């Protein structure tokens, strides 16, 4: 199985801050990497697919980069509605696997 490791596991930030979350794969997954946002008691929401493809309706302050084994999700200017947990997920091979999550909390 491909292991996905996210860092940090949590972070505190203020509205307006630039936030970067890292996801590393245990082997190369090309650009087969998705990012999801999950708020408490809600289902995950797909933000970015194929490492950098922003989904329709997702604000442009979200961006994704990377390929191979290292990927980043950046929120350019954190907004109140962005406080949530973010998960990466490899879509390269079965079994599909997710990172452990990064919780973005209010500072």
Partner 1 sequence: QVQLQESGPGVVKPSQTLSLTCTVSGGSISSGGYYWSWIRQHPGKGLEWIGYIYYSGSTDYNPSLKSRVAISVDTSKNQFSLKVSSVTAADTAVYFCARGSMTYDFWGQGTLVTVSP
Closest C-alpha among 5, 15, 35 to residue 100: 5
If one asks whether residue 91 binds partner 1 (CB under 8 A), the answer comes out as yes
The enclosing H or E element of 99 equals none
Q: Which secondary structure element, helix H or strand E, spans residue 63, and what is its range?
A: strand 62-67
Under the binding rule (CB under 8 A), the answer on residue 87 touching partner 1 is: yes
Nearer to partner 1, 16 or 95 (CB): 95
Residues 9-48: x where in contact with partner 1 by CB under 8 A, - otherwise, as a string: -----------------------x-x-x-----xxxxx--
């Amino acid at each position: 199985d491909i292991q996905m490791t996210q860092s940090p596991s949590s972070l505190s930030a203020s509205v307006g801050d630039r936030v970067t979350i890292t996801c590393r794969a245990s082997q190369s997954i090309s650009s087969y990497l998705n990012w999801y946002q999950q708020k408490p008691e809600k289902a995950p929401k797909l933000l970015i697919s194929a490492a950098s493809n922003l989904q329709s309706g997702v604000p442009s302050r979200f961006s994704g980069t990377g390929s191979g084994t290292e990927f980043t999700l950046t929120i350019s200017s954190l907004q109140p509605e962005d406080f949530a947990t973010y998960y990466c997920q490899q879509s390269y091979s079965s079994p599909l696997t997710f990172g452990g999550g990064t919780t973005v909390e209010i500072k």
